Amino acid sequence: MIILGIDPALAITGYGVIQVKGNSLVLDEAGIIQTRAKENTSKRLDKIYRGVIKLIEDTRPDCLVLEKIFSHHGHPATSYILGQARGVICLAAATKNIPFFEYSATRIKKAIVGKGLAAKAQVQRMVAHTLGLKTLPAYMDVTDALALAIAHSYIIKAKV
């Protein structure tokens, strides 16, 4: 099974593609889709959409995993912008008929580290350890995307 995890944002969208091979998880590809702040929002969203479409075409995932939106009352605009990025990613998945799953941040952290309130650094180290990476990903957005994919593999395995 090939799982595509995506950590959406308007500036830097992280992604990670893993393969589930028996009891092993293998990193296929990871990186970012980056937009420039000077471009208007519609161009930035288009870049994310086209980037995700190309990623789906290149990696042929069996499913796509996103984090559920957490809305903080002090930063409502952040949720709005994040929702736009998530929307074009969901559209890309629907366009390519890729099943879509979403989980809360606490569920992801619990699956990866064992506790829902784990620090980002703990998640980063566990992702690197799980995938046998010699160095930590350069962007936390990539780590988060890989954590989504890894957690989904654990969650679906637990359901079987």
Question: Torsion-angle region of residue 123: left (phi > 0), alpha (psi -120 to 50) or beta?
Answer: alpha
Predicted model pTM = 0.93
Tens of pLDDT along 105-151? 999 999 999 888 888 899 999 999 999 999 988 899 999 999 999 99
As annotated, the active-site residues are 7, 67, 141
Class of the domain covering 2-159: alpha beta
Beta strands in the chain (DSSP E): 2-7, 12-21, 24-34, 63-67, 100-103
Token code pair at residue 29: 């590809």
Domain range annotation of the chain: 2-159
Give pLDDT, residue 71: 59
92: pLDDT strictly greater than 90: yes
